[in-house]
């Protein structure tokens, strides 16, 4: 006796092939074509295809172009009332930010002195809310007094004297 399996009738082979239990003789060729032409970027529902919020896109754009520091400094000036408080913001204004030192112009010397006592609290608020602004120190100045000096490169000396008469 030989150990041969009886041939499967054609209808049974067709039935198995239609149910997906027995691959057809063309399945390998189709699979190779499908893999070779697979374009995952253009397929729907793949990762990375969801639309991103506009704020995220602008964040990526500002970080890639190096604008985040300048935008943080601008936002600090615009939101000065939130940082310092409403009453304090009425009597003080940020005027310049040079080399990490934020200069704040106050209405009077009394306000400048009071804000000097609050320096640590204000600097903490600035650093936590606007870390990209680059503020390291805060300087409070009173109202401008008339000066004879012009520009950052002046010659030190005794200054103006009574030469008018």
Which of 27-31, 77-81, 86-90 is least confident? 27-31
Q: What is the length of the chain?
A: 165
pTM (two decimals): 0.56
For 43-73, write each residue's pLDDT tens digit: 777 777 777 888 888 888 888 888 888 888 9
Go through the domains of the chain in sequence order and give each one's CATH number: 68-141 (3.30.300.130)
Report the C-alpha gap between 101 and 142 in whole angstroms. 16
In the predicted structure, residue 20 carries a pLDDT above the cut 70: no
* DSSP string for residues in 1-30: ----PPPPPHHHHHHHHHHTSS--TTHHHH
More confident residue, 18 or 37: 18
Q: Write the DSSP symbol of residue 99.
A: T
More confident residue, 163 or 71: 71
Average pLDDT for the chain: 80
The model's confidence at residue 8, banded by pLDDT at 50, 70 and 90, is: low
């Amino acid at each position: 006796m030989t150990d041969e399996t009886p041939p499967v009738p054609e209808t049974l082979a067709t039935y198995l092939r239609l149910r997906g239990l027995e691959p057809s003789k063309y399945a390998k060729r189709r699979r190779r074509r499908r893999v070779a032409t697979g374009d995952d970027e253009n397929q729907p529902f793949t990762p990375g295809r969801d639309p991103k919020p506009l704020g995220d896109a602008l964040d990526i754009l500002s970080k890639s172009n190096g604008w985040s520091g300048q935008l943080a400094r601008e936002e600090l000036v615009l939101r000065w009332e939130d940082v310092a408080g409403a009453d304090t913001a009425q009597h003080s204004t940020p005027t310049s930010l040079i080399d990490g030192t934020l200069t704040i112009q106050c209405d009077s010397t009394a306000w400048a002195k009071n804000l000097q006592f609050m320096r640590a609290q204000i600097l903490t608020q600035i650093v936590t809310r606007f870390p990209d602004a680059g503020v390291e120190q805060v300087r409070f100045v009173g109202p401008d007094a008339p000066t004879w000096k012009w520009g950052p490169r002046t010659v030190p000396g005794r200054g103006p004297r009574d030469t008018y008469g």
